[in-house]
Amino acid sequence: MTATASDATVSDAPASDTAPAAAHFRFFELEVLRTRRLGHSFLRVTFGGESLSGFRSGGYDQSLSLFLPPAHQEHTVLPSTDEDTWFASWRGMPDEERPVMRSYTVRAQRRTPEGADEVDIDFVLHGTATSAADAAGSPAAYWAGRAVTGRRIMAIGPAVAENKSVRFQPPAGTDALLMYADETALPAAAAILDRLPAGARVAAWFEVPHADDRLVLPTLSDADITWIVRESGAGKERIERVLEALRAAELPVAEAPYAWLAGEAGTIRAVRRHVVQERSIDRRAVRFTGYWRLGASEEELLAEAYAGQAASEEPTSAL
């Protein structure tokens, strides 16, 4: 996910424990190898590092948690990476020294001909991503915009491919896929499209801030992609624009459709109501995930979750 806030699950699937099994996830040290601008809003950072030999992305919408160093530090420093003590140690760090934790999806993982492992993560850039205000308001975009070869950060990621952070789980017999993603979920949607088999029927709506954020998305599937270019608008105006696009569409005729919806939590809830109530798709076949929430930072969402104030939202950045 290119999300800059928490990956808060709001699906109909049963809630699971917020701390995955230790055998499934562990700490990795990632080193920046190179960066590449993909569009107006997207920057791809390619990471390497010896520890990636144990990284096992399950593909699709695989998530991980990045620990981004404060603006005055080049590399991430954590007081503990022990599974029993890291969280308390991290939370106990002084505010000005504590790395920022953000949830992202793995856009791609590969092994080079030389035998080295690489992982791509696509970041959404907000504004100039260069000022002190950007560092405070969009720390991940600020870090990515300044990432240079050799910078090191820490991450908690999958040590096994079959793990609960892969949410794209269409039931057997699914004969059509519906997708909605905003810019924060577009890398996850792109990774899903990458892995779909030839002939899979897909109707997708992807919302992006600018016209040149409409990326080329390779896929073998039979995908009908509608781009919703936002340019401006927020809140109800934004949600209505998305719903108008969905209501105007003719969906594939299917007996067992599956819907995967990800992005801003309020928009996702509205889209989910549309596909269930107006399109009569079985709610059990809808996976919807709020990657962020308008007006709330990841820190606020995590605090709510750990205080028991957001029982319907699962902060997967606490891997």
Say if residue 14's pLDDT is above 70. no
65 band by pLDDT with thresholds 50, 70 and 90:
very high
Question: 317 near 25, Cβ under 8 Å?
Answer: no
pLDDT(7) > 90: no
- pLDDT score of 18: 41
What CATH number corresponds to the domain at position 219?
3.40.50.80
Phi then psi for 11, rounded to 5 degrees? Answer: -95, 175
Shared domain for 129 and 265, answered yes or no, is no
| For residue 310, pLDDT beyond 70 | no
Tell me: the pLDDT tens digits for 129-185? 555 545 556 889 999 999 999 999 999 999 999 998 999 999 999 999 999 999 999
Domain final position from 131, 158, 185: 158
- 313 in a structural domain: no
Phi/psi of residue 67, nearest 5 degrees: -115, 105
**Same-domain status, 189 and 265:** yes
* Domain final position from 125, 158, 191: 158
Please state, for a pLDDT cut of 70, what percent of the chain lies above it. 81
**Residue 252 is assigned to a structural domain of this protein:** yes
Mean of the pLDDT values across residues 4-18?
A: 35
Residue showing tokens 């995955």 = 20
Cβ-based burial of 138 (10 A; exposed 0-12, middle 13-18, buried ≥19): buried
Domain C-terminal end among 100, 124, 158: 158
- What is the reported pTM? 0.85
Domain assignment present for 106: yes
- Same domain? For 55 and 105 the reply is yes
Contact between 268 and 286 (Cβ < 8 Å): no
User: For residue 2, is pLDDT > 80?
Assistant: no
The structure tokens listed for 244 are: 């108008």
Same domain? For 98 and 228 the reply is no
Alpha-carbon distance 173 to 142, whole Å?
Answer: 43
Q: How many domains does the chain have?
A: 2
**Domain of 254?**
176-292
Q: Are residues 133 and 190 in the same domain?
A: no
Does some domain include residue 119?
yes
Residue in 264, 258, 302, 300 with CA at minimum distance from that of residue 279: 258
Q: Tell me, what's the pLDDT at 236?
A: 77
Count other Cβ atoms within 10 Å, centred on residue 76: 20
Is residue 20 domain-resident?
yes
Please check the confidence at residue 48 and state whether its pLDDT lies above 80.
Answer: yes
Does residue 250 fall inside a structural domain?
yes
Query: For the range 232-238, what are the long-range contacts, defined as Cβ-Cβ under 8 Å and sequence gap of 24 or more?
Result: 234/294, 235/266, 235/294, 238/264, 238/267
- Cα–Cα distance measured from residue 198 to residue 308, given in angstroms and rounded to the nearest whole number: 44
311 domain residue, yes or no? no
- 181 and 147 in one domain? no
- 133 lies in the same domain as 185: no
3-state secondary structure of 260: strand
Shared domain for 114 and 192, answered yes or no, is no
For residue range 107-124, what is the model confidence (pLDDT) as tens digits?
A: 999 999 999 999 999 999
pLDDT confidence of residue 164 = 87
Q: Across residues 11-16, what is the average pLDDT?
A: 33
Q: Does residue 206 sit in the same domain as residue 147?
A: no
In a domain, 303, yes or no: no
Q: What does the block give as tokens for 105?
A: 């999806």
Do both 89 and 182 map to the same domain? no
Q: What's the mean per-residue pLDDT of the chain?
A: 85
- Conformation bin of residue 110: beta by default, left when phi > 0, alpha when psi is -120 to 50: beta
Cα angle for residues 209, 281, 167 (degrees, 5° grid) = 60
- Structure tokens of 106? 């793995």
Q: The domain spanning residue 56 has which CATH number? A: 2.40.30.10
